[in-house]
Amino acid sequence: MAEEKKELEGVVTEALPDTKFRVKLKENDREIIAYLSGKMRMHYIRVVPGDEVVVEMGPYDENRGRIIYRL
């Protein structure tokens, strides 16, 4: 059974240690902790506070996500 992943847009509000970021979601004005995906690390894509990003969230933890795209 495949798990449902949601892709949401948000804005990076704070850079945290270990390539984690605090992201404020546009959909419901909630803040989550998100980390960079492997492809973004591999290609040295920079993410700084103020950037708009797409976050992929799993069905189990609503407070964590993975940044998969910078807009």
Domain locations along the chain:
6-70
Model confidence pLDDT, tens digit, residues 10-65:
999 999 999 999 999 999 999 999 999 999 999 999 999 999 999 999 999 999 99
For residues 59 and 71, give the distance between their C-alpha atoms in angstroms, rounded to a whole number.
24
Q: Between β-strands 31-36 and 64-70, what pairing exists: parallel, antiparallel or unpaired?
A: parallel
CATH hierarchy code of domain 6-70: 2.40.50.140
pTM above 0.95, yes or no: no
Give the three-class secondary structure for 36: strand
